[in-house]
Structures are given as structure tokens and as C-alpha cells.
Amino acid sequence: MYDNILLPTDGSDGTDRIVEHAIHIARENDATLHVLHVVNTSVVPLDGHSRAIYDELEAAGRSSVDEIRDRAVDAGVHAVDVLRHGTPYRAILDYAQENDIDLIVLGTHGRGGVSRALLGSVAERVVRLSEAPVLTVRTVPPERD
């Protein structure tokens, strides 16, 4: 059913649940897992003064995709790692379209209300604008009453 699965990662803590879901689905479908990190260049203009910041962000992103790729390979999944620059939601959507992605597995932080309205949401934009199906996975399971 799925040949190419995209797992965008921002390198933040709490991504284990998302990675587990993506690897499981890729293994069950004998699919390639595309692990993508986008260095967000929409926040600070890329110039000589900000180059050191971007170098650090790029190194952290590279470390994150390498670690996830290695976990996937250890689980018997063919995986590729990709680092891009740009606005995260746009880069995710562009990559998905360029690489015939069948499913995007994306984490949410479970923010809502004012936080989401003020900060925006990469996951929300990808869900609304993606041509491919999107599976969202909360980084932390919801608390039950």
C-alpha cells in the first residue's frame, strides 16, 4: 500500500513514539522511509552574521536524521536521510510531492488554543495542504481522566 513514507523530524525530544510508528509502518509495507529535517531559514535571514546559528541548526538536524535512519536500518527498513533549508511546512510538502510520498508520519505536540494560534503549527499546515495522507502522532499520549 505504501512505497515511500516521509518522516519529518525537528530533532526535539519526545519523538520516539513517532519514529516507532513510522518504522513499523515502513517495515510492514516494505517501504522506503525518508527521514527529513528542515533547517528553518524563515526565522532569521541567512547572512554572514547568522551563518554560525545555521551551522549549529544544520549539525543538530544532521545528527537527528542520522540517528533515526540508523534505527530504521537496524529494524530492517530501507531508509534515506535528507536535510533541507526553508520554511518547514513548505519544504515538507515540496519533498513529498517531488518524491512520490504515499504517507507522511508527523508528530504533534498537542498544543491547542492560544499556543497554536500564536505559534502556528507545521503539522496543521501539512495536514491541510498535503496531497498525500498524513498520520499525526502525539509526542506524549493524552492524559486520561
In tens digits, the chain (145 residues) has pLDDT values of 899 999 999 888 778 999 999 999 999 999 999 999 999 988 766 677 778 888 898 999 999 999 999 999 999 999 999 999 999 999 999 999 999 999 999 988 754 554 444 345 899 999 999 999 999 998 776 666 5
pLDDT at 145: 58
Q: Was domain 4-138 assigned CATH 3.40.50.620?
A: yes
pLDDT at 141: 66
What's the residue count for the chain? 145
Please state the domain extents for the chain. 4-138
Do residues 133 and 101 lie in contact, with contact meaning Cβ atoms separated by under 8 Å? no
CA 19/CA 87 separation, integer angstroms? 22
Do residues 102 and 5 lie in contact, with contact meaning Cβ atoms separated by under 8 Å? yes
pTM reported for the whole predicted model? 0.88
Give the neighbor-by-neighbor strand order of the sheet with 4-8.
79-86, 32-40, 4-8, 103-108, 134-138
pLDDT at 46: 66
Residue 87 in 3-state DSSP? coil
pLDDT at 115: 44
